[in-house]
Chains A and B, each alone.
Chain A
Amino acid sequence: MLCASLLGCAVVVAAETAPEPAVRAALLFNFLKFTEWPAAATDDAHLHVCVAASDPELLAAMEELNARQVHGKAVLIMSFRQQAECDVIYVDSRQRWNNITEQPRQSHALTISGYTGFVADGGMIEIILQQGGTRFDINLREAKRAGLRFYPQLLKLARRIVE
């Protein structure tokens, strides 16, 4: 018990403070692990993560996820283009999200953002960064519409779930 808690302490202390872009990238990767796409929707080898953002640091952090394996597929980070087929869309602002939703829907893409009101705007996962830690809200209705399934581990940790 003592040992376990000490180890736990060590990890927590080592990771005590992390820069925002790295946390966003790591969270996104975790969300991928706990999401199931409809079998026919994704290609066999890759999980396409489209990033619609302008902050170079965030882009650099996201790029670190390239080639990592989730559900037996390699993550492929790309910048968002309207014609792209994305399994995941990370968007940094309401303005960009409005532009994305103006076009025909990305039918099965998991959508993630950190801007306030994202879930209310029809996004699926809204990351709420705070000094002390992080929370996230989930829009289950939108996820179901896209044919996505979230694992209970993910739902359990959500701050709020919109159904």
Chain B
Amino acid sequence: MKNFKPILLLLGILAALPAQAAGDEVEKLLPLSLEDLLAVKVSISTNTLQSLSKAPSVVSVITAEDIKTTGTTNVVEILQSVPGVYIRNNLFGNRPLVTMRGATSPHTLLMVNGAPIKDLAWSSGIFWKGLPANMVERIEIIRGPGSALFGSDASAGVINIITKTAGKIVQSEAGVRAGSFDSQEAWVQHGAQWNGFDIALTADLSHTDGHRPFYGADAQTARGDVSYAPGHASTGWDNQDIRFSIGLDNWRLLADYTRHSNLETGLTGAGVLDPLTSASDSQASLALLYNNATFAKDWGLNAEMRYRDLEYSSGDGFQERPPGYRSTVSNPATTYPDGQLNQQRSAERRMNFEVSGLYSGFKDHAVRLGVGYVWQDLYDVRHRVNYGPISDTVTLPAGGPLVDISHSAYAFAPEKSRNNKYLFVQDIWSFADNWELTAGVRYDDYSDFGSTVNPRLALVWQTTDRLTTKLMYGEAFRAPSYLELYSRTAATLPNPDLAPETSKTWDLSLSWLASRELRLGLNLFHFAISDIIALLHNTPTTVKYQNAGEHLIRGAEMEAQWQPTETLRITGNYTQRQQDYSILTSYGIPDQEAYLRADWAFLPKWHWNLQANWTGKREQQPAPPYPTRDPRSPLGSQTLADMTLRYVHDQHWEFAASIRNLFDEDAREYVSTKSLAEYLPLPGRNYFAEIRYTF
């Protein structure tokens, strides 16, 4: 006989709430056969993922469904929907720099399948242009420090883009898309089982001419010299991306190849129009991953081995100054008939190993212990210039040919390797009902700058069935880059004695399931960065990378998700930050941001999405601390809205159309180059349409 009287679930908790929605959903699924049920697409509600609500961090997840419904064609676009994330378009190459919590992009660790995208030569992933959205299964975002687990760069946050790999592709798909700016894209994804192996292949090809912003004047105009302005900046690029994976039991092998070509950089970093440069980069990577949750009694084991080769070339560019450029550095002034050319190529490789074990043999504890080794080698640096100093005593005369300065102290980077050994341990201790304490620490030893230790603590309290409270503290670091350590130019000096930047962050996070229809979240943070590496004057004419000082950013991130009916969902968030205004401030990242999104399945086969990103005003460099005030009119707030309509015709065909920048807002990105009065104009209203075939 049963000796226990069943306790009906949710008694009293949900009694007051309409149970209709969940009931209808289950009711609808029950008549399906198991086979049909397995084929139903699951909308994984990020907030119900157990691992998320209890994660000892502030975590957001973007699903493939989010990516599709918002008309995202490149993952970078949808990152902006996460509170605290701001994508800053870079003047040079129109590269999307991913920033979090008001700090510059090097303070965010950006990974693809757990491997950092950064490189030695430039440290931002060279011409990283995001990833084709169709290849992505999920994006996980940790707001706040992550160095205690992930090492360098994880100060403001960690973003991990997870691609569709073996075992994850249930249906094969092919699609094409075309849109404004002469953009075309084609993709295919296929998953299969073969002799017990799971196999997956995804491929994506795309071309765009880019939005070609117009500049009435550039840095050349400002100095009264020859100029391509007024004129358009070229921003086109081609992308080829192919990813193969194979899985068997606990093993997975990922092989990826990505190439960007005909990549037009548009403007130089100094704000000079450069129609010549057509650059390229490519990377090939291999990863062997092992994951066994029951390796031995009480032990789970993870291991990984990765290799990446990355190459880039500036092609015939970079054209730093246009033909006919008149230099007034020397007296009398000299003219460069071919302009100033700065041709760069480099190749580098990275290899890493990591092993970690999860021990669950202690009652109420889960302990993870890991060790790793990363080796990075910038093995080929080619540099040719037709101007400037090429040694401490020789400066090239104007009008001469290109001179090879590879392997000299004036090359843009040294051929050099760096390695990093690390150890980490983390314990999750469930010390009472509804209480969990996570304590972790990681030790990193770098071959160049030395060692650093970064701890973290997180207390998670399931306050009530509907409220989760988290209090977290974490320290993080950013290893100095090759540029900062070793790269010498005419005006900037590197500093091999740099220490890493460090940060200390406090977070208080509340997540509240107000009702079944409404979820609310609030997160407060206090983020203090020390030893910031900045270019400061060491003589009146030269600047040198130095550990300069401290910077404090405080902020509040608010989120809400409201689902009033089964077919309508509204989500939004608002971020407000406060930071010191000093020489270390990253101007151009707004103090206020908001995001609003509505999803409406207004008919069974139709889906409508509207999203809007609001960017607050961008502060201008004040004087002091800068010698002169920015003469340009300040950049006010702006709203970029997108609308996407999707129609699922049957189980094979699906159609979508999207309008980006729906209200044709005259949006600008802040750039510090003061001679660009227009800043960086962002694309006006534009369109695309796509067709998908599933088989």
Contacts and interface: CB of A to CB of B under 8 A. Distances in A.
Contacts of B27: 64
Contacts of B430: 95
B426 to A, nearest CB: 15
B37 interface: yes
Given A18-B29, A54-B462, A133-B170, A63 B604 contact: no
Nearest to B63: A131
B537 to A, nearest CB: 53
B65 A116 contact: no
A41 interface: no
Interface string A1-21: 000000011011111111111
Contacts of B8: 63, 66, 77-78
A44 to B, nearest CB: 11
Contacts of B137: 130-131
A155 to B, nearest CB: 11
A20 B462 CA distance: 22
Interface in A18-64: 18-23, 25-27, 29-30, 33-34, 43, 48, 51, 53-64
Contacts of A68: 30
Given A13-B651, A77-B8, A121-B294, A18 B41 contact: yes
24 contacts: A9-B650, A15-B32, A16-B40, A17-B65, A18-B25, A19-B45, A26-B26, A26-B29, A51-B9, A57-B48, A60-B10, A61-B26, A64-B22, A68-B30, A78-B6, A84-B6, A94-B366, A131-B168, A132-B168, A133-B42, A134-B38, A134-B42, A135-B167, A157-B34
Nearest to B22: A60
Interface size class of A (residues with CB under 8 A): 35 or more
B22 A61 contact: yes
A76 B6 contact: yes
A19 B25 contact: yes
Interface residues of B, number: 66
Nearest to A93: B50
Interface in B1-39: 1-4, 6-10, 13-14, 19, 22-23, 25-30, 32, 34-39
Interface of B: 1-4, 6-10, 13-14, 19, 22-23, 25-30, 32, 34-45, 48, 50-51, 53-54, 63-65, 137-138, 167-171, 292-294, 300, 360, 363, 366, 430, 462, 465-466, 513, 516, 604-605, 648, 650-651
Interface string A75-95: 011110101110000001111
B32 A129 contact: no
Contacts of A79: 7, 9
A58 B167 CA distance: 25
B280 to A, nearest CB: 33
From A22, A43, A77, A134, name the one whose CB has the most chain B CB atoms within 10 angstroms: A22
B42 A23 contact: yes
Contacts of B300: 117
A14 B28 contact: yes
Contacts of B648: 13, 16
Contacts of B466: 56
A131 B462 contact: no
A56 B43 contact: no
B22 A84 contact: no
Given A13-B648, A26-B29, A117-B300, A56 B14 contact: yes
Contacts of A92: 50
Given A43-B2, A56-B466, A131-B63, A63 B29 contact: no
B42 A117 contact: no
B42 A131 contact: yes
Contacts of B651: 8-9, 12-13
A103 interface: no
Contacts of A133: 38-42, 170-171
A63 B9 contact: yes
A26 B32 contact: yes
Nearest to B29: A26
Contacts of B13: 56
A14 B27 CA distance: 13
B48 A20 contact: yes
B45 A57 contact: yes
Contacts of A29: 30
Contact of A25 (B26, B36, B44, B516): B26
